[in-house]
Amino acid sequence: MKPATIQASPKMNFEISRYSCDSEDHIDQIARLKTINWGLDFEVFRSYAKWNYIDRPHTKPPLIYFVRVGEEVVAMRCAYETAWQVKNASTRFYALCSADLLILQEYRNKGLYKEFANYVMEDLCKMGVQYFFSFTATPLNSIISLSIGWKAIGKINIMKKQFQTNRSKAISLAKNIAGPRSIKLLKKAGLNLILKRRRKENSQRNDAIYHRARTQFPSHISLENKPRPLEMSRLVDSALPKDKITLVRDESFFHWRYNNPLSKYRFLYWCDHGLKGYLVLQSHLYSIESLGTYNIFELEATNSSIKIELLDAMISIMNDGSISVWTNMLDQDSYEFLVSKGFKEENSTKSVNEHTRIMLIRPIGKHDEKIEFQGLNLLDADNWDFKMILMHDH
């Protein structure tokens, strides 16, 4: 595609180019930009970019838009295709999703974001794309996006429990003292030694959970450190919810999804003559802000009793840190069980950056018809089977 030049301010020319993200050169550029912004080791982000864009199972190559000022790449936006299905439907719904959106600090608040966003939308319209989704926008980006034409599908509510020990109290205190601004400055200073130490600590905490569980669970529940792609995909297909748009998670998807080099995963399996349920627990390896935080990425089972057993098993091996889960992915019995165990819904109203996360959709071009698939309104969160697995966990 021939690059387009945009005059975003009297003093600065921005050149925007779109590519199919299918080469090592593109991966290197993504990694360089993220390294400049976050300060992690280049190879860490390169392995993440390769995983997210080259290794990802997809029908079409991901797209990437680079913004250059002269020879310098100062911003990027990536997009990839996901497949969705509705139980008993003969066709699937393919959605283009926004991924890494990054503008270097010194180029923010200069009119670049709006011009960049408009260019991407116009380009996608020319390509015949109907909808553009964002399942991972930060609260601040969501507010900006809503002001320029995006629509909210629905909010994501989070339940959380803190397993408070002397160690986790110390961690909380350290994070409060440092604050988001100081943490960002540490990253920008390129203090890789500190981040590597955090990676080691997070990894050790996961290992401790793993070893505690091996002697505590009944015979039909096991904790493992690897996915079971074929069994998991079969269970997902057999337990598809009725009248909900659900992410296609086939065997190839599971082979890919849980290889993110920025995270560590533990898998709780419930087996009795085959896999009847599983729970995936995720933790960040490098993030200082997420030290000691575990997320329930998936919870699937043939019935709610098995889900509750898996949740109970998970809680039984936690003695430090915190666990978070999207309430949107819980049935009523699982929700009430977690409430009985001390989980509480978060009320994030302290600042713009702490508002509740929402899912977004941007209709592209003229859309007089209903925004729907298989008769289900895409703007109604109740019609979606949202899970934390949609997060990029980086």
Can you give the residue ranges of every domain in the chain?
4-156+353-390, 158-345
Tens-place pLDDT, residues 75-117: 999 999 999 999 988 888 888 999 888 999 888 887 788 888 8
Q: What is the pLDDT of residue 319?
A: 75
Residues 6+ apart with CB under 8 A from 30: 21, 45, 49, 53, 64, 76, 78, 100
d(CA 110, CA 393): 29
CATH of domain 158-345: 3.40.630.30
Which whole number is the average pLDDT over 12-33?
A: 85
Is the per-residue pLDDT at 177 higher than 50? no
Which among 111, 120, 158, 159 has a CA at the least distance from the CA of 139?
158
Is the per-residue pLDDT at 332 higher than 80? yes
Is the per-residue pLDDT at 230 higher than 70? yes
Is the per-residue pLDDT at 188 higher than 50? no
Which whole number is the average pLDDT over 374-392?
A: 89
Least confident of 198-202, 242-246, 335-339: 198-202
Which whole number is the average pLDDT over 258-273?
A: 94
pTM for the whole structure: 0.83
Q: What is the pLDDT of residue 269?
A: 97
Other Cβ atoms less than 10 A from the Cβ of 137: the count is 20
- Overall fold of domain 4-156+353-390: Aminopeptidase (3.40.630)
Confidence of residue 24 (pLDDT cuts 50, 70, 90): confident
Q: How distant is the alpha carbon of residue 282 from its chain centre?
A: 11
Q: What is the pLDDT of residue 189?
A: 46
Tokens of 127: 């390509």
d(CA 25, CA 16): 17
Least confident of 7-16, 43-52, 53-62, 121-130: 7-16
166-188 and 24-38 helices, crossing angle to 10°: 110
Confidence of residue 51 (pLDDT cuts 50, 70, 90): very high
Q: Which of the residue ranges 170-179, 202-211, 370-379 has the most confident prediction, judged by mean pLDDT? A: 370-379
Q: In the chain, which ranges are E strands?
A: 4-9, 12-20, 63-69, 72-85, 93-103, 131-134, 151-155, 158-163, 221-224, 246-247, 263-271, 275-284, 293-301, 321-326, 344-345, 358-363, 372-373, 376-377
Is the per-residue pLDDT at 141 higher than 80? no
- Residue 77, SS3 per DSSP: strand
Same CATH fold, 158-345 and 4-156+353-390? yes
d(CA 372, CA 12): 41
Is the per-residue pLDDT at 178 higher than 50? no
Which whole number is the average pLDDT over 10-35?
A: 83
On whether the CB atoms of residues 161 and 364 are closer than 8 A, the answer is no
d(CA 243, CA 235): 18
Q: Which residue is associated with the tokens 């020879």?
A: 71
Q: What is the DSSP string of 171-193?
A: HHHHHHHHHHHHHHHHHHTT-HH
Dihedral angle over CA of 284, 180, 184, 321, nearest 10: -20
Planar angle of CA 13, 19, 21, nearest 5 degrees:
130
51's enclosing H/E stretch is: none
Which whole number is the average pLDDT over 10-20?
A: 77
On whether the CB atoms of residues 107 and 9 are closer than 8 A, the answer is no
Q: What is the pLDDT of residue 36?
A: 87
Beta bridge partners, 73, equal: 68
Q: What is the pLDDT of residue 47?
A: 93
